[in-house]
Structure 1
Amino acid sequence: MAVANASLAPSNPFSASASSRAAAPMSPQPNPLTQLPNVDFNFEELRQRMSAFTVKFDAFIERGRKRVLEERNEFRERLGELTEDQRLKSQSIATLSSATTTHRSLLAREQSEKEEMNTAIRSLENTHATHCKARDRLKSQIAQTQRQIDSKLQAQRDYNAKLESQSRLNGPELAFWETYLGVRLEGAGVLDRIKVVFTLEGGRAGGNGAGAGDREVWFELDLSHRDYEVRGMGRSGRDEGHAGGGEGAG
């Protein structure tokens, strides 16, 4: 480049070198503009390096494409798994929601049945308490009635004993009345009434009965009141008839 710059620089006609060059004959010199530099590009090595780079680049692209395909397939597979998992979870949520609704309905029904059972139990307890009170009252009444029955039975036994002891005394007295006084006592067929019969002898008596000419006069005495009352009277025999009913104090 220094040579080229020197050749391209303007010449001074007044310099000594210029005069000497002018005096000397002109010799041909190489022109740097017409000459190309001798450069060895080593195309074979460059081609080999480019081939190696192409192989590496193709391998890199292939690995990248495979990795992208694998990642895409893995993403799709993962997305499918997530979609299936979401579907299963949605089904599980729907099933659990249905089970929760059923469980709530069951709890509400059980609560209603529990309240009904509690109401029935309270009603039964009240009924049981009422029955217990009625039972105790009936037991008290039964005990009182039993005491009254025992008292009446004892009074009846005492009365029967008294009647039995009195009957031993009444027998001879009634026989005396019938034999010597002509008076006998009969039942009137009505409660608390007795029939008093007087026998008037008109002939010989046959056996224990009245004679053929005997006459009887009777009256019924009501014993249901404190003051006895005569409810009826009559006579039988030869002048058999009824004298009519009358009342009077005993």
Structure 2
Amino acid sequence: MTDHVLADRYAIAGKVALVTGGGAGIGRATARLLGALGATVVVMDRDHALADETVAMLTEAGGQGLALAVDVGDGTGLEAAFETIAAEVGPPQIVVNNAGMAIRAKATEISEADWNQVLSVNLTGMFTVARLAARMMTPNGGGVIVNTASIMGLSGGLYPNVAYQTTKGGVVNMTRALALEWAADGIRVNAIAPTYVNTGFITALTSNPETLKTITDATPLGRLAEPEEIADAIVFLASGAAAMITGTILPIDGGYLAR
């Protein structure tokens, strides 16, 4: 096997990739890496300005992108967005199902409205994106879906955050269920389970030195993950190098779950 053929197993160039929650953090890092590797990247975010900023970064680096302002909790908006994607750049072959939110509150204190909002985005929204993607992938030779779960979906976590933890546990088993259901259609479905990542998503935690120390003390590698490190794992799972991997939850956790 030639080196060229070996390298082709990691090839992303020419594919259409959708990244939800692509305006910042893990989503932005993933969109930028996919773009750098030659994919046409659809950046979906509920904040249009952030989506536009990410696409501007892609185009400045010589890549191609499309920005869409969509809240993944809006099923009707998602359906319209997928129609736009198909019309403007073609059906997605890679979907990074990354959009998410957290409302940190104790189980005895979280309101029903807040609970439902987190479930709407983190679980129902993620399922809707995956289903819409699969409907386009199936008649077009298949594709890859990578869901963003969390170490909180595989453990109880460190802080009261019951809605987030519940939804991420749901993402873990949804990933397995969809992988089994769609394997015959040529669609691989995996998930990543990141530890605490150095993004604005957890500023409320990391801005407190004592809380940050608690997190790093619980992580054998002794630090937060960087968004680019999560993006590396996502793109591996999206590439042909992971062609025999489906239904897997890949922790990127600095050893957190090994304890």
TM-score range, shorter chain: under 0.3
Q: Higher helix share goes to which structure? A: 1
Normalising by structure 1, report the TM-score. Answer: 0.17
Normalising by structure 2, report the TM-score. Answer: 0.17
Larger CA Rg, structure 1 vs 2: 1
Q: Which has the higher contact order (CA 8 A, sep 6+)?
A: 2
